[in-house]
Structure 1
Amino acid sequence: MSASFQYKPRFTDIRVKPPRPDEEQEPAEDVLRLKPGEKPCNWADCTRPATARAPKSREQLNEFYNFCQVHAGQYNKSWNFYAGMNEGQIRAAQENEAMTGGRPTWQMKAGPQTREAAAFAAKFGTANNSGAGSWRDSFGLFGRRVNADAPVQNDPHHAMGRLERTALADLGLEPGADKAAIKARYHEMLKRFHPDTNGGDRGAEAKLQSVIKAWKTLKKAGHA
């Protein structure tokens, strides 16, 4: 190549040139430095950003520590919700968790001294037998029954459901039948329609199945 040759690039020269001595070189970015909006990990001597939360204790479930993923896993391994509780307290806490999910509950019925009860009494009166502005609460749905000492009369029509009343009808009994009458009628009809005791009549097999089904229904409901 001749000494008179001069390099002339057709495009912009993109070769990296070394910095001049008078230029200050920017420091390398610290990858462990917290970015704006990030919280530090609460673990001792940890400089990583926090990406997970963990409750502080059983009594402080709404207060949290901020941990990185590594220390959140270590904290969870040592976490014991039932620490310091005896066996009875643990069982009660587990039952409460199963019933309500550990959330607080409130009684839906208003007490006699509440503002709602006073407003109801002002509008409808009180639950008693007679008098102006009174009403009768025979079933005790809104307070104490009118006569709390009187025994409650169980109406068999209300105590039995539709399936139980249908089962009694299949046995030819009324809803007021007691356990002894139900059992006696079942054995009577079982003997009447069973193929081994009715001379081999196979036509009564469907009736026998309905009798057995009715007996099982009443027995399961506690009426037999």
Structure 2
Amino acid sequence: MHGRVEGARDRCAVSGCGEPGEYKAPLEPANFNGPGSWRFLCLDHVREHNAKYNFFSGMSPEEIAEAQTSFGGWERSVRAFSATVGASPAWTDLDDPLDAIAARFRRQQESSSRFSTPERRALAVLGLGEDTSRHALRTRYSKLVRRYHPDKNGGDRTHETRLREVIEAYQSLRRSAVFA
């Protein structure tokens, strides 16, 4: 049975009940800031406890709406890519393993951009900035291929050169260490 505490020796905490207390129930349901205080209840009484429980009690309508979103509790900002993404030097090229860290840091300082010059040109072909993500790259590529492909333009081949540029730019960027 889900939630059952194996080896519980206490009786149900409800006065007058002689059943074994095999299920943990919080004393203060609204207090989840620590381990909390628990009591042990029998199956019937824990079902009664759970039926009365209301997670949203004491919340404003705005707080309830926020808690009910599909990503409730996950509102954290994250960066799409780390600034230190890139290939590390080969260990065999270094006398001291800490030189690998220094070499990577030096390379990062030498170029303020995380993209090489050819990669920046490829981003320009696709109309993307240096803050783009792998998902945005793929989305933009798909959109441009649909726009310039002759099958989507009724056989019009005037955009073949542009289509080739878009495909080459995407192929070079998708293999880039930034998007690894």
Q: Calculate the TM-score normalised by the size of structure 1.
A: 0.37
| Higher Cα radius of gyration | 1
Q: Calculate the TM-score normalised by the size of structure 2.
A: 0.45
Higher RCO structure, 1 or 2 (CA under 8 Å, sep 6+): 2
